[in-house]
Structure 1
Amino acid sequence: MGPENLLGFALGEWQSARVSVIQLKQIRKDNKWRLKHAFFADMGGFVLRTGDGVRFFLDTKHIHWLLDHQAISMAQFEEHFLLDPKAIDDRNKSDVFVRVIAVGQALWFCVNIIARDIRRMPITTLEITTIGIIIDSVLVYYFWKDKPADVQRMEVVNIQMTISELLLLEENEAVRTQAYFRTPLNFASRKVWSMSLIYIYGMNMLKGILVVGLFYGDRGIRKMQADVQKRREMLANPDPLEGNACLKDRVVHMFWTLAMKLMNNSLENDPNLDVSLVFLLGVPCFAAYTVIRAYILVEDVIAFPALPPDVYRTVDWWGLLPHIT
């Protein structure tokens, strides 16, 4: 996977958090709900516990729905959700100073490469590839600068309503009674941002290839052999009345199943992760991009034996400083 996919995912999370900040600002008429709170919510920092003991995670859209339907009061919101930013920082396992050092080292690497090019010193293709990765990484750091990392302690919010009473607050009966895939408030929050959807779809593609290849290869071969044997038996004893109809139904079913799987490649077939036909047109482009990325990395490694000896030379920064005589 290329770093651009992670950048797209980070952009989608930042976009979701930013929309949450704007919406709650319109409701509360203040700026107390910040990006740091929104990121903390979307990464599973808040857990709702109903009166009958049902627990599930809350994201920003859940919180907005609870406020909009008065399932929680403003007093409860301020007590449980408007955490002190320092309290969120205390749960953050990644220090800001560490992030700054990481970005500084990456940028210093870019400065060295530019300086070597100015001094007409040789540069490897691997270093050029690394610069592209660094640019994407710096942008990811920017979009995630307010996002805590590896938070393990969550904020539990208790309400008196049971889960049945909570769901009855939704006016649309068809929406509240539909099956959910993640939380009972799935209907309130399952809009997936386009950049995040691209990242999830691509990762599911790679996971499917790896799982099938590594864990189900032998099983798949046995199933294929069984299907071949079954077809041989059908050809040996054909049914003249149903043969054509069965063949037509199997072909239609095969293409329909393939189309449905391409439009939703999630393991649980979450309908909120459906993609459009226009999106599917970009799948070959994504596959080509992945192959090109792999080729570039392989080419970078293959080029090592042909590198000139002075490729390991570095810029003499002290020699560039003016000398006082």
Structure 2
Amino acid sequence: MIHQRLFIASILVGLCISQVALAESYVIAPNTAAPKGNLSPALLVIRNGGGTYIGETDDGRPIFDLPANSPLITKKSDYNVEFEIEPLGNRKIYEARELLVSYRPGKKPSRQDLADAGFEVVEDYERGTVLVIRPTQAIVLNQETINRLAILRQIEHAEFNHRCKVAPLEAQEFTGQDNAPPPVNDPLWDKLYGIRRVGTPEAWRNINPSPSPSSSNSQFGDDSEEIIVAVIDTGVDYRHADLRANMWVNPDEIPGNGKDDDGNGIIDDVHGASFVGGRASGDPMDDNGHGTHCAGTVGGVGNNGIGVVGVNRRVKIMALKFLDKDGYGTDIDYVK
């Protein structure tokens, strides 16, 4: 009888160990819009006990320990959201405990309300009606804390303050049917995969069927220079020979005087601004290359015999930098 009980106990222990072992770490990412309510899909997973949040990947996707029978694994959907699920594998885990909380103008939750829910304010970005919060010491992101946060009526939406990384640039060449002579004299025209892939030459011809080949501005109306495009990226090399003529210039700022002439809290923001690491600066110079590449695609000067041409060669480029030299940034810096 004793042996029989020991045998049964061993089976039960083995079953328990097996159930624990079946919980594995997965990278999840929603590929549909968030459901109704004030929580992002990842926070919904925590609130509903769908998994245990343990951090995020290098590119800001949340990582969960999920039970084997989780609908996120078996069906790749739950909470009216479809998810992309991948095993964690050898990816590194980065701690991410900060949340972005947006609220309606004039309805900001008090610090005491947030403290009662188990959170403290890291940053108050009033211009964007956004708070950066994190669990107070010794408090973790779990069902209880997320539920207490979700019932605060002032909160419009809550999401992780993800760490993000820009995708590396990959050289591609156009392989479609395009036997027409180059419409511009920029020497890298044959390398401009994106512009040719989306049919930019055809769009140019529709704007001006008979342009003068000698003019860099001939294919666009005079009002094109009034269009400002903000490139939110690693910054822009505003001294670049193919960009400097098309860089936006802040009309309310006096360059180089060391003063905040326009009163927006940023000194000498002549061509844009940088928000890397939460620090506002008037110098959005690109130290990575990705943002400059994108700016060239948007509005590189054309028909100047140099480098590339942009989709709109007379547009004005405003440089907004939130990614550092290694291509990393956070959602709150992007919001700013």
* Superposition TM-score tier, normalisation by shorter sequence: under 0.3
> TM-score when scaled to structure 1?
0.26
Q: Which has the larger radius of gyration?
A: 1
> TM-score when scaled to structure 2?
0.25
Structure with greater strand percent = 2
Return the structure number with greater relative CO, CA threshold 8 A, min gap 6.
1
Structure with greater helix percent = 1
